[in-house]
Amino acid sequence: MEYWTAITIGLIGSFHCIGMCGPIAFALPLDRTSTNTKVTGSLLYNIGRLTTYFSLGVLFGLLGYGFALAGFQQWISIAVGAIMVLSVIWPKINHRTPSLTPRFSLWLGQVKGQLGKRLGKQSNSNLFAIGLLNGLLPCGLVYMAIAGATAMATALHGGFFMILFGLGTVPLMLAMSLFGNQVKSTLTQKVRHFIPIFIVLIGVMFILRGMNLGVPFVSPKIDKQRTEMICH
C-alpha cells in the first residue's frame, strides 16, 4: 500500500504544488538553444528536487525507525493518518492563517534569497542547485509525503518513499519547465478540487493500516521483523 500511495500523492499533489513550484519551473534559466539542452537542464532541476526529497525521507524514516523500536509503529501510522485528515478539516473550522516562527521565517527567507540569485545564472550545476533548494520550500503535500516516510519506520524505506513521491511530481514539473503557460490550466483546476478528498482517503488508509486489523491490503498485520532492520 505504501509505495503506490507515495507516487499517487506525487502525481495528484503536483497539481496543487503548481502554486509554489510553477513560477520557479517557468523561470528556470534553461539553455533553450536546442531541445536536448532544455530537456537536460529540466531533468537536472528535477534530479535536484528528488535528491532533497530522498534526504528528507532518510532523515524522517530514521526518526520513525526510532519510534518503531520503542514499540510505537502502529501509533505512527495512526498519527500520520490523523494529521492528513485534520490538515483538510481544520482549515474549514479555523479560518486563521498560521503564522511562521521568526526563526523559520528567517531560514525560509534565506532559501528564497538563494533561489532568486540562482534563477539568473545559466549552468547545469546551477539548475541542480535550484532543484535542491526548491525541495526545501514549504508545501503541504511534501509534508504529507514526509509524514508517510516517517511511518515507513526505516531510513531506506523512508528515502524510497520520498523518491517515489518526487517521481510522481516530475511529469507535470517537467512539462511546466519545458512548455510554460501552454500547460492547460482547466485540468489543473479540476484536479486541485479533488485533492482534499484524496488526502482524506489516504489518511484513512494510514489509520486503518495502523489499527493492525489483519485485513489484506487495507490493514495488514505489521511485520515486526521490519523494525529490526539496521538502516545506513
Give tens-digit pLDDT for 156-196. Answer: 999 999 999 999 999 888 888 877 666 656 556 666 677 78
Q: What is the per-residue pLDDT for 183? A: 61
Cell triple for 37 = 539542452
Owner of C-alpha cell 512548455:
179
The closest alpha carbon to 175, from 162, 186, 184, belongs to: 184
Cell triple for 128 = 541542480
The closest alpha carbon to 1, from 103, 91, 81, belongs to: 81
First to last CA, the chain: 24
Q: Is the dihedral of CA 69, 73, 75, 80 positive or negative?
A: positive
| Cβ-based neighbour number of residue 44 at 10 Å | 20
Is 0.85 surpassed by the pTM of this model? no
Dist CA 69 CA 57 (whole Å): 18
Q: What is the per-residue pLDDT for 132? A: 93
Which residues in the chain come in under a pLDDT of 70? 1-2, 19-20, 95-101, 104, 180-192, 214-232
Confirm if 130 and 119 have CB atoms less than 8 A apart. Answer: yes
Mean pLDDT of the chain: 80
